[in-house]
């Protein structure tokens, strides 16, 4: 149960998981197999790629008052020269480690702890072999988790493998990040980071978890102070020139003074990441999934209601700070670099 977990020592746990989640010499990553998992019960289509993949339908609409979600639909459409879409399919692979334990995570915690019963070491080419053998091949490949940035080599190796196969112009690579570590900068050489940044048709998203330190810690089981580090980590990606976007989850224990807290949150996005970054950030509505049912208690049910109040506060902040034209523009047009 999530509430029974102690506060996670993120630095120590991340080091521990990284060792178990990568074989650098063989260029292999520990990849989740969904067969028999609780997560598998929530999938709308059977798993593919021998159980190591799933197809996800990214859909633009979210229920009112939540904003429509253009990620990764619009970045992928722009990169691949596709028309305006309201839905796009992605081939998803998950690495089998994550440093946090969000109560609302739609992944079984067993699929986040390097459990060999549910995962196998695979190279980027192993995954692409499975992908090209499928009859249905989405044009988006999403490296998810887990926390892909515990093993940032994965994104680089996948990007390189896509290029070697001549798929660079026909596939869009999208990677998820929970903004919990700086491993991209610690474990990749500067020329490798630059190669990844410059790779065609590559975008990434980082997820802010909570609107303040208290909601962040309630959601993730990480220390409250790490709430503030998310902004610095995102700023580093923006400054380096990555095509990066944000998600935000707004569950929390209380909606007291929500307008003040949300105003501070949006201030942090603007002052610590980029003045336009709120326009590249999409709040995601948390729902219930099979793996979350056993974790949810009264406080989590309340947290679902808190996110609705938070959403109104977010909308009010964006209306104050940006014009209707800016808010209606395609998300890819909010450029963060020259
Ligand atoms: S950071 Fe993401 S993968 Fe990890 S527990 Fe939270 S929601 Fe799940």
* 5-29 confidence digits (pLDDT tens): 789 999 999 999 999 999 999 999 9
Q: Best mutation site among 105, 109, 230 for ligand 1, i.e. most ligand atoms within 8 A of its Cβ?
A: 105
- CB of 105 within 6 A of ligand 1: the answer is yes
- Domain tally, the chain: 1
Structure tokens of 151?
């093993």
| pLDDT score recorded for residue 294 | 87
Structure tokens of 301?
């049910």
- CB of 230 within 6 A of ligand 1: the answer is no
- CB of 179 within 6 A of ligand 1: the answer is no
Is residue 21 assigned to a domain? yes
Beta bridge partner(s), residue 46: none
- Whether 230 has a pLDDT exceeding 70, the answer reads yes
Which CATH number fits the domain that encloses residue 121? Answer: 3.20.20.70
Is residue 294 assigned to a domain? yes
Structure tokens of 10?
């993120």
Measured distance CA(229)–CA(167) in Å, rounded: 35
Is residue 285 assigned to a domain? yes
Is residue 39 assigned to a domain? yes
At 328, is the pLDDT very low, low, confident or very high (cuts 50, 70, 90)?
Answer: very high
- Whether 3 has a pLDDT exceeding 70, the answer reads no
| pLDDT score recorded for residue 62 | 94
CB 153 within 8 A of CB 187: yes
Does residue 87 come out as left (phi exceeding 0), alpha (psi in the -120 to 50 range) or beta?
beta
pTM to 2 decimal places: 0.97
- CB of 237 within 6 A of ligand 1: the answer is no
What does the pLDDT average to over 103-130?
Answer: 97
Is residue 128 assigned to a domain? yes
Measured distance CA(114)–CA(18) in Å, rounded: 9
Structure tokens of 153?
């080599």
CB 81 within 8 A of CB 134: no
Q: Best mutation site among 103, 108, 112 for ligand 1, i.e. most ligand atoms within 8 A of its Cβ?
A: 112
**Cβ neighbours of 122 (radius 10 Å):** 23
Beta bridge partner(s), residue 113: 97
> Which of 55, 60, 75 minimizes the C-alpha distance to 137?
55
- CB of 107 within 6 A of ligand 1: the answer is yes
- CB of 286 within 6 A of ligand 1: the answer is no
> Which of 150, 126, 141, 142 minimizes the C-alpha distance to 17?
150
What residues make up the domain containing 102? 2-333
Distance 106 CA to ligand 1 centre (A): 8
DSSP 53: B
Distance 107 CA to ligand 1 centre (A): 8
Give Cβ neighbours of residue 53 (< 8 Å, ≥ 6 apart).
47, 91, 92, 93, 127, 130, 131, 134
Is residue 338 assigned to a domain? no
CA torsion sign, 88 to 141 to 293 to 36? positive
- CB of 295 within 6 A of ligand 1: the answer is no
Is residue 303 assigned to a domain? yes
| pLDDT score recorded for residue 338 | 60
Does residue 124 come out as left (phi exceeding 0), alpha (psi in the -120 to 50 range) or beta?
alpha
- Whether 1 has a pLDDT exceeding 70, the answer reads no
């Amino acid at each position: 149960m999530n509430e029974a977990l102690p506060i996670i020592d993120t630095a120590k746990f991340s080091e521990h998981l990284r060792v178990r989640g990568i074989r650098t010499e063989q260029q292999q990553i520990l990849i989740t197999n969904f067969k028999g998992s609780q997560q598998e019960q929530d999938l709308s289509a059977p798993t593919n790629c021998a159980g190591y993949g799933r197809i996800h339908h990214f859909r633009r609409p979210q229920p009112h008052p939540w904003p429509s979600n253009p990620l990764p639909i619009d970045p992928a459409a722009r990169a691949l020269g596709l028309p305006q879409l309201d839905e796009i399919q992605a081939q998803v692979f998950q690495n089998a480690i994550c440093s946090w334990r969000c109560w609302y995570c739609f992944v079984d915690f067993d699929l986040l702890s390097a459990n060999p019963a549910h995962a196998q070491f695979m190279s980027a080419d192993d995954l692409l072999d499975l992908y090209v053998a499928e009859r249905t091949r989405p044009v988006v490949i999403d490296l998810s988790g887990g926390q892909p940035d515990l093993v940032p080599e994965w994104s680089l190796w996948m990007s390189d493998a896509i290029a070697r196969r001549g798929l660079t112009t026909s596939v869009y690579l999208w990677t998820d990040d929970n903004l919990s570590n700086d491993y991209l900068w610690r474990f990749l050489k500067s020329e490798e980071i630059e190669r990844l940044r410059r790779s065609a048709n590559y975008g990434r998203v980082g997820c802010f978890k909570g609107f303040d330190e208290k909601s962040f810690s309630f959601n993730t089981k990480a220390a409250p102070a790490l709430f503030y580090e998310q902004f610095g980590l995102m700023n580093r990606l923006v400054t380096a020139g990555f095509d990066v976007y944000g998600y935000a989850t707004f569950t929390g224990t209380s909606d007291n003074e929500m307008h003040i807290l949300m105003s501070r949150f949006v201030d942090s996005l603007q002052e610590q990441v980029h003045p336009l970054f709120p326009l590249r950030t999409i709040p995601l509505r948390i729902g219930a999934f099979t793996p979350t049912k056993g974790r949810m208690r009264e406080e989590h049910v309340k947290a679902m209601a808190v996110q609705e109040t938070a959403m109104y506060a977010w909308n009010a902040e964006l209306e104050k700070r940006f014009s209707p034209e800016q808010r209606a523009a395609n998300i890819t047009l909010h450029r963060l670099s020259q």
